[in-house]
Amino acid sequence: MGDETRAWKAALRKELLAKRQAVSDADRTHWNAAITRHLIDGFPQLAGLTVGIYWPFQGEFDPRFAMQHFRTLGTMSALPEVVKKGEPLQFRQWWPGVAMTTGAYDIPVPDGTAVVVPQALIMPPVGFDAAGFRLGYGGGFYDRTLAHITPPPLTIGVAYELSRVETIRPQAFDRAMDFVVTERGIFPTQKG
């Protein structure tokens, strides 16, 4: 990636994070409830699968409430763990009340639970475009993870509409998501 694209993505990331963190508590609560309902109603195929989610960070949508529903249907949830810079994420089995430890970026991760391979991923983009490409935090962890998992998991990005952009200027290593879910609904991408 060239310096100009890197700088453009860094500026866009900063702008989108500021917008997301400025959302009022009332809007965030309303939007989270809408996204949770879209996930539950729109993805019954998650029942019984191993689903990678994430611990909410910097104002992200909180996927744990949707997972409460799917766990009652036999879904196993897992949280990502950064093992090493430049490597794919590994996912550790997670359930409410499991012992946690502080991982990279001070994000909680399950402490010593089984490492599992997700069949679906609920992913948190900082920004996303209609083609299904996501702008993350810049570490490339999800792109490396998606390139590593065989067969590829179902990928569902979850974000607020304010994170939608015309393009993220995808690079050759970027992996498109299958769907993006916002407070306004479920959007299949060009991939999905």
Question: Which of the 8 DSSP states describes residue 164?
Answer: B
Mean pLDDT in residue range 3-12? 91
- Ordered DSSP codes for 99-141: -EEE-GGG-EEESSPPEE--SEEEE--SEE-TTS-EE-SSS-H
pLDDT recorded at residue 117: 97
**C-alpha count within 13 angstroms, C-beta hemisphere, residue 157:** 30
Place of tokens 């490597």: 87
**Cα dihedral across residues 178, 109, 15, 61: positive or negative:** positive
Helix (H, G, I), strand (E, B) or coil at 58: coil
Q: In this predicted model, what pLDDT tens digit does every residue of 111-149 receive, in sequence order?
A: 999 999 999 999 999 999 989 999 998 888 898 999 899
- DSSP H helical segments within the chain, as ranges? 3-21, 25-42, 64-71, 141-148
Residue 192 has pLDDT above 60, yes or no: no
Q: How confident is the model at residue 191 (pLDDT cuts 50, 70, 90)?
A: low
Q: In this predicted model, what pLDDT tens digit does every residue of 32-73 receive, in sequence order?
A: 999 999 999 999 999 999 999 999 989 999 999 999 999 999
Considering only CA atoms, which of 186, 61, 76, 189 is closest in space to residue 123? 61
pLDDT recorded at residue 126: 96
Mean pLDDT for all residues in the chain: 94
Domain ranges of the chain: 3-188
Name the CATH topology of 3-188.
Answer: Rossmann fold (3.40.50)
Letter string b/e over residues 171-181, b meaning 16 or more CB atoms within 10 A of that residue's CB: eeebbbbbbbb
